[in-house]
Amino acid sequence: MGEKKRIGIIICDRYRRCAGGKCFRSLRNREGAFSRYRGMDIELVGYTSCDGCPGGNIEYAVDEMKKNGADVIHLATGLVVGYPPCPHITYFYNFIEKKYDLEVIYGTHPIPQKYLTMHNQLGTWNDPEWDEIIQATLADEKTRLSYD
Per the CB < 8 A criterion, the answer to whether 46 and 61 are in contact is yes
Over 60: is that where the pLDDT of 1 sits? no
Over 70: is that where the pLDDT of 60 sits? yes
Per the CB < 8 A criterion, the answer to whether 107 and 80 are in contact is yes
Domain range list for the chain: 4-146
pLDDT tens, residue by residue, 90-116: 999 999 999 999 999 999 999 999 999
Question: How many residues belong to the chain?
Answer: 148
Per the CB < 8 A criterion, the answer to whether 26 and 108 are in contact is yes
Per the CB < 8 A criterion, the answer to whether 62 and 100 are in contact is yes
Q: What percent of the chain has pLDDT over 70?
A: 99
What's the start-to-end Cα distance of the chain, in Å?
Answer: 30
Look at the domain 4-146 and name its fold. Answer: Rossmann fold (3.40.50)
